[in-house]
Structure 1
Amino acid sequence: MYYSIIIILFILLTIASLTRKSKKEDREVLIIAHRGASGYAPENTIAAFDEALRLGADFIELDVQLSKDGEIVVIHDLTVDRTTNGKGEVRDYTFSELQKLDAGSWFHPKFRGEKIQSLDAVLDRYKGRTGFFIELKNPALYPGIEEKLAETLKRHNLHKDGDVVIQAFEKASIKRCKAILPEIQTGVLIKFTVKGISNEQLLKLSEFTDFINPNKQLVNKRLVKRVHHYGMKIAPYTAKDRASVQFLLHAGVDGIVTDYPDYIVKN
């Protein structure tokens, strides 16, 4: 009788353990490749995006601005200085001029010839293969960029599904995007501040956004729970080492923006 009870208890504990493990493993964490797999290839280029897909990213994160002639182009900085062999502000170049720049050699000579891409070209190449976190960079400098982005997404039939998240640090820009495309997912990026993020801020943000994407230094389990309480998801930026990835996974985030997609191993 005694041994039977022990065996039953052992079985029950084993089942409970497996159930807990299953629940943990079933939780999907989005792998969001920061400017592509930018730890391995020059950011915001085809090489980085291709590598991100090879490494299993669920989304590629990319930055958009407008060229002089109104093309939506994929580049992070206000100027072309850091990531190309050119000089000057992005908005002072036509798209044709931007495409003549070398956007790969700065990272490594083997990437010589990588080009600044149009958003159209990126969507054409990767639609149906991965999702997109599209960040509006410096939107105040580009009046009407929200409308142009909406038109582009509509052309590619990406304005209604869950494959796109439009994000920015500027809340006004995200509000405009949501007004133009009510069904699109949006995200607000939040810089680090010692004050953190208040419940009042979260309540206001929940009125027009779906994701809160803060600097990873702001994240802890309590913040994740509060974000979820207000009906939003959280995808912090930017994990550049395995320790940061593990910390964010333990905190229970919904997605992780990382230069190294292979650092996030799904069960």
Structure 2
Amino acid sequence: MKQLTTILLTLGVFMMAFAGSEEKVLANESNINDANQVLNIAHRGASGYAPENTMAAFEKAVDMKADMFELDVQMSKDGELVVIHDTTVDRTTDGTGKVGDLTYDELQKLDAGSFFSEEFHGERIPTLGDVLDEYRGKTGILIEVKSPSLYPGIEEKIAEELEKRNLDKPNNDKIIVQSFDHDSVQTFHSILPDVPVGVLLSYSSNGISDQQLTEFASYAEYVNPSKNMMDAELVSRIHDFDMETHPWTVRDRESAQFLLEIGADGIITDYPDYVEPRQ
């Protein structure tokens, strides 16, 4: 009997050790899978396939299973937050004039789809609220504050839209706010410090200094340069400052593959189908 008890105890210890090692293997596999993921961010929605910054482009991004879509926010003459890239409506609508000189009602009358294809005739310029109401919980949303110097108080208005929808909570990785105007990013961060923010950078032959990265790291979670600035060393340096990077804007498969290979955390692209998980 004593011998049988000893055998059973030994077997039990062996099974526990095996289970522990199996859990460790599974945990390691999970970590590897996490490391292999890259955020697929549809630029102005899936703008390679539908008119940029419209509900059609955002719907296409969701259909193509992008992790997030990016959009641009400006302000109408009467203070509505509208989703459009250029500071004029000339390129992407059938109207003319500056966004900030037109009222919300005037902007709503414009056709924002036909410039891309007659298939999208009648697409309208959405408001930020429209987009948040339709897509929160369905996908992540990367909000770019566009030309904020033209729209005093725009950061507060964006914050209000997020607060109304409980999108200002800690650990909410479904909303990120970014801008080329780094003062604006800091202003927004001071209003809603729990919402992650990113700094956008245009191409510079001087690169990004450690001094800049130190400054960015004091308030931002993301450094998002032009893809033409990117290499493995820059990705590593950004990571050394505990930030992540989502380069922009990919319009060919070769660029997508390059950014995957150097370890970018996300890829902002007009074509979500060009971004495949790392192997």
Same-fold call, TM cutoff 0.5: yes
- Mapped partners of 2:258, 2:215: distance in 1: 27
- Mapped partners of 1:52, 1:110: distance in 2: 17
Matching of residue 216 in structure 1 with residue 232 in structure 2: no
Give the deviation of 1:165 after TM superposition: 0.5
Residue 240 of structure 1 corresponds to which residue in structure 2? 251
Matching of residue 55 in structure 1 with residue 64 in structure 2: yes
- Report Cα offsets for 1:83-130 as digits up to 9, x if no partner: 000000001111111010000000001100000000000001001000
Give the deviation of 1:26 after TM superposition: 4.5
TM superposition score normalised by structure 1 = 0.91
| 1:84 counterpart (62, 70, 93) | 93
Across the two proteins, how many residue pairs are aligned to each other?
250
**Structure 1 residues 210 and 25 mapped into 2: Cα distance closer, same or farther (>3 Å)?**
closer
Give the deviation of 1:132 after TM superposition: 0.7
Give the deviation of 1:27 after TM superposition: 2.2
| 1:150 counterpart (159, 184, 193) | 159
Give the deviation of 1:264 after TM superposition: 1.0
% identical equivalent positions: 52
Name the SS of the counterpart of 1:192 in structure 2: coil
- Which amino acid letter does the alignment assign opposite residue 68 of structure 2? F
Residue 29 of structure 1 corresponds to which residue in structure 2? 38
Residues 181-260 of structure 1 mapped to structure 2, 5 A cutoff: 181-260=192-271
- Which amino acid letter does the alignment assign opposite residue 114 of structure 1? E
Structure whose CA Rg is larger: 2
- Mapped partners of 2:49, 2:83: distance in 1: 18
Give the deviation of 1:192 after TM superposition: 0.2
- Mapped partners of 2:33, 2:162: distance in 1: 35
Name the SS of the counterpart of 1:248 in structure 2: helix
Name the SS of the counterpart of 1:233 in structure 2: coil
| 1:97 counterpart (100, 103, 106) | 106
Name the SS of the counterpart of 1:178 in structure 2: helix
Give the deviation of 1:162 after TM superposition: 1.3
- Which amino acid letter does the alignment assign opposite residue 263 of structure 2? G
Unaligned runs of 5+ in 1: 1-18
Name the SS of the counterpart of 1:177 in structure 2: helix
| 1:131 counterpart (137, 140, 147) | 140
Give the deviation of 1:136 after TM superposition: 0.4
CA RMSD after TM alignment: 1.6
TM superposition score normalised by structure 2 = 0.87
- Which amino acid letter does the alignment assign opposite residue 42 of structure 1? P
Unaligned runs of 5+ in 2: 1-27
Residue 12 of structure 2 corresponds to which residue in structure 1? none
- Mapped partners of 1:142, 1:22: distance in 2: 43
Give the deviation of 1:20 after TM superposition: 9.2
Residue 169 of structure 1 corresponds to which residue in structure 2? 180
- Mapped partners of 2:105, 2:265: distance in 1: 38
- Mapped partners of 1:22, 1:226: distance in 2: 22
- Which amino acid letter does the alignment assign opposite residue 204 of structure 2? T
Name the SS of the counterpart of 2:73 in structure 1: strand
- Which amino acid letter does the alignment assign opposite residue 56 of structure 1? K
- Mapped partners of 1:209, 1:77: distance in 2: 25
Give the deviation of 1:170 after TM superposition: 0.7
